[in-house]
């Protein structure tokens, strides 16, 4: 069986094909194959030049990331990418890279080690290693500035930006854009090439160190905003600056040192964990690869509120026609305006092309919405009785093969399915607000949800450019089930002496996108009160009354009311409320709640350990297939910092014995809310990583 690199001859041109599906990643075997090909080219007088190209739909989309986690733990030596790049660059005969598809990371580094580059239309080029907590480690930080200029290289490497073939041509990163057959034109290019042209010898586009530092200073501000607290983007800036200050070989040594520091750091380990976790969620237990998914040709959206509008925009942006119905005329009119404004905004920002979105129809009856729909999504108020009545109505008016989906965030999908004559066609599609932007889609599998329905939901998520995570049908599913104890602890801490601002800052300064109390104000404190009461009814150990009940009774339900844990101005900017702190103290005094001084570390322990413990309980109950699924849910839907790897990865970083000790102490002091998960306890005793747990 041939290896991942196959050579052949076309007269005096050596054709070198990389065939390492699915994305032709640079693995040890590929590098060995390229080394052998360079030896073949160097050892034959009959070979005048070489062309390197990728089989399938892409050139090389990067290095084989599977090699990185073991390296980060020091279990095996670093792959020597530079040795191969240098062999390519130092071959005494012209080497042409024929580029198509995605030329990313190590793929672009290989292309730049070649002497010439020709790209097919539609090619994407970039160095996105910072998204894995790394910098280019095979000469990218030294070669890209020499070809594209230091300024653009800083942006591409430190921000992970990609460019198309036209910009690459303008920058000088490539030499030509193919107009016909890519490999054929690359071969002709190679025949005409007179001699090798090494990238390392191109210093014309480099700027002097002082000018480079001035450019980098501007980029540091951008990096600080886009990649707050992250190490790799700043290391990337330093590596590119080295290209402007040092000879090529010394610049390579600087790059290697910075790459190694990033690779062995916790952020790279977390981001690589996240990378693999997102790919693992596509593997769904009990769903065969050959299960056919139905095409969603038209979607009916029931409910014209915030979620209904956002879901409609998500479908429309994907080119799916939508009919939207709301019982209130004012809501229908507001939805029409809002959706059109959102679509116009997406077009102006270049996120969708003019005329590419689906058609929107606002209708006055549910029957009109249902006509011809292959999927109906209810997005009405989070009330079981209301949602059941909507499902009954949809069951009566939609085509028999139409799938019925609920956007519920907590309610029982089986109970909703029981209101229909087609429970096998019912599924939960829990979108996150704003639905047209947030990446996460929780797909909730009911007891009778058919494989075809599940496959269709997952295919739809891909079409909508969502990351789908399949959840079992338990209260709160994955995301909200874990979020509730995390947030309940934030509320308790705020009534035990910590200011709301301190509670939120303890988490946002750690990397969370929003603090838990601010999230409550955004979603609505009345919504969380309903969720807590339902959870208590189902046997969860939450306080029957909290200070949020007082806020709700006062009408302070959050941003929509202008006040909650914070006051809000006309632009919904949060402002501190001095009177609120006084009310909290009075509430605590009336109920004998002791006050104390809280450190940020203590706040994080109480909230995050509650989150982690509930995640472990979900795994015990079979709600999720893998612990890493929980990490994906929190990174994609709840603002958990990807560079911390998600809550379950964080648990392993903190140390399960440490977490177990804290949970056990709180359980002894405060009761059943803190009962340690059996799975977490077992992993702590055996030394097993909980983030790698799978059913």
Residues noted as catalytic: 109, 129
Contact 76, 120 (CB under 8 A): no
CB proximity list for 264: less than 8 A, separation 6 or greater: 72, 74
3-state secondary structure of 52: strand
CA 211 from chain centre, in angstroms, equals 35
For the chain, the C-alpha Rg in angstroms (whole number) is 28
**Cα dihedral across residues 163, 165, 166, 167: positive or negative:** positive
- H/E stretch holding 511 reads none
Assess contact for 68 and 25: CB atoms under 8 A. no
Task: HSE, CB side, 13 Å, CA atoms: give it for residue 153.
Answer: 32
What is the C-alpha to C-alpha distance for residues 647 and 653, in angstroms, rounded to an integer? 10
Q: State how beta strands 176-177 and 116-119 pair.
A: parallel
- Integer Cα distance of 36 and 6 in angstroms: 10
Provide the CA 482 distance to its chain's centre, in angstroms: 19
The full DSSP string for 625-663 is SBHHHHHHHHHHHS---GGGT-HHHHHHHH-HHHHHHHH
Q: 534 with 475: CB under 8 angstroms?
A: yes
> Tokens 């995570």 correspond to what residue?
469
Torsion of CA 228, 233, 238, 243, to 10 degrees: -150
- What is the CB neighbour count within 10 angstroms for residue 305? 16
Classified as helix, coil or strand, 462 is helix
Q: Give the separation between CA 298 and CA 307, rounded to whole angstroms.
A: 18
Please state the φ and ψ torsions of residue 621, each to the nearest 5 degrees. -80, -5
Question: CA-CA distances (angstroms) from residue 570 to 138, 334, 516, 566, 573?
Answer: 51, 19, 22, 13, 7
Residue 194, Ramachandran bin (φ over 0: left; ψ between -120 and 50: alpha; else beta): alpha
Place of tokens 């990446």: 439
Residue 503: burial class (beta carbons within 10 Å; 0-12, 13-18, 19+): buried
Q: Is the peptide bond preceding residue 200 cis, with omega within 30 degrees of 0?
A: no
Residue 548 in contact with residue 523, Cβ under 8 Å?
A: no
Distance of alpha carbon 31 from alpha carbon 37, whole angstroms: 10
Contact 598/496 with Cβ under 8 angstroms?
yes
Q: Is 92 exposed, middle or buried (0-12, 13-18, 19+ CB in 10 A)?
A: exposed
- Rounded Cα distance, 479 and 519, in Å: 14
Structure tokens at 437: 């932007």
Q: How far apart are CA 137 and CA 511, in angstroms?
A: 27
State CA 1 to chain mean position distance: 37
């Amino acid at each position: 069986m041939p290896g991942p690199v196959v050579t052949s001859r076309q007269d005096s041109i050596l054709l070198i094909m990389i065939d390492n599906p699915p994305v032709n990643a640079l693995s040890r075997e590929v590098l060995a194959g390229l080394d052998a090909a360079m030896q073949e080219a160097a050892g034959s007088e009959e070979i005048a030049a070489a062309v390197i190209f990728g089989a399938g739909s892409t050139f090389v989309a990067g290095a084989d990331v599977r090699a990185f986690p073991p390296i980060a733990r020091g279990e095996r030596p670093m792959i020597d990418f530079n040795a191969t790049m240098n062999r390519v660059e130092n071959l005494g005969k012209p080497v042409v890279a024929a580029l198509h598809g995605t030329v990313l990371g190590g793929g672009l580094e290989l292309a730049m080690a070649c002497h010439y580059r020709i790209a097919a239309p539609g090619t994407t080029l970039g160095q996105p290693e910072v998204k894995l907590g790394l910098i280019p480690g095979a000469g990218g930080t030294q070669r890209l500035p020499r070809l594209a200029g230091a300024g653009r290289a800083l942006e591409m490497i430190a921000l992970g930006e990609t460019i198309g073939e036209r910009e690459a041509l303008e920058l000088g990163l490539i030499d030509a854009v193919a107009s016909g057959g890519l490999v054929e034109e690359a071969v002709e290019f190679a025949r005409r090439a007179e001699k090798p042209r090494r990238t390392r010898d191109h210093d014309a586009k480099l700027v002097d160190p002082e000018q480079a530092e001035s450019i980098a200073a501007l980029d540091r501000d951008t990096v600080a905003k886009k990649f707050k607290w992250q190490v790799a983007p700043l290391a990337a800036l330093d590596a590119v600056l080295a290209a402007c200050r040092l000879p090529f070989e010394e610049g390579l040594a600087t790059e290697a040192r910075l790459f190694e520091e990033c690779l062995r750091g916790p952020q790279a380990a977390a981001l690589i964990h996240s990378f693999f976790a997102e790919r693992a969620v596509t593997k769904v237990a009990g769903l065969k690869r050959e299960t056919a998914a139905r095409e969603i040709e038209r979607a009916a959206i029931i409910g014209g509120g915030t979620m209904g509008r956002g879901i409609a925009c998500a479908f429309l942006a994907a080119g799916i026609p939508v009919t939207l119905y709301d019982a209130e005329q004012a809501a229908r009119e507001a939805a029409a305006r809002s959706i059109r404004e959102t679509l116009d905004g997406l077009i102006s920002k270049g996120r969708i092309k003019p005329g590419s979105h689906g058609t929107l129809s606002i209708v006055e009856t549910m029957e009109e919405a249902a006509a011809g729909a292959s999927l109906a999504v209810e997005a009405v108020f989070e009330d079981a009785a209301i949602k059941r009545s909507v499902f009954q109505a949809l069951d009566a008016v939609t085509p028999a093969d139409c799938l019925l989906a609920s956007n519920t965030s907590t309610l029982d999908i089986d109970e909703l399915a029981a209101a229909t004559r087609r429970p096998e066609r019912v599924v939960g599609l829990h979108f996150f607000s704003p639905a047209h932007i947030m990446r996460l889609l929780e797909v909730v599998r009911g007891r009778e949800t058919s494989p075809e329905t599940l496959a269709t939901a997952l295919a739809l998520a891909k079409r909508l450019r969502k990351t789908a995570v399949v959840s079992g049908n338990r209260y709160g599913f994955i995301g909200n089930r874990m979020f509730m104890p995390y947030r309940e602890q934030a509320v308790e801490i705020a009534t035990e002496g910590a200011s709301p601002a301190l509670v939120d800052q303890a988490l946002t300064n750690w990397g969370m996108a929003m603090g838990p109390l601010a999230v409550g104000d955004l979603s609505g404190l009345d919504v969380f009160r309903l969720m807590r009461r339902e959870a208590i009814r189902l046997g969860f150990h939450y306080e029957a009354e909290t200070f949020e009940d007082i806020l709700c009774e006062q009408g302070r339900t959050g941003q929509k009311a202008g006040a909650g844990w914070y006051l809000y101005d006309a632009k919904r900017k949060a402002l501190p409320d001095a009177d609120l702190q006084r009310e909290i103290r009075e509430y605590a005094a009336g109920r004998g709640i002791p006050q104390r001084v809280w450190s940020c570390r203590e706040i994080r322990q109480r909230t995050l350990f509650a989150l982690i413990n509930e995640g472990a309980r979900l795994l015990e109950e079979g709600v999720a297939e893998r612990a890493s699924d929980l990490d994906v849910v929190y990174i994609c839907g709840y603002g958990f910092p990807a560079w911390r790897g998600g809550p379950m990865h964080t648990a392993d970083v903190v140390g399960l014995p440490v977490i177990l000790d804290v949970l056990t102490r709180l359980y002894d002091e405060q009761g059943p809310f803190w009962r340690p998960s059996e799975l977490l306890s077992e992993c702590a005793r055996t030394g097993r990583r909980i983030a790698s747990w799978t059913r």
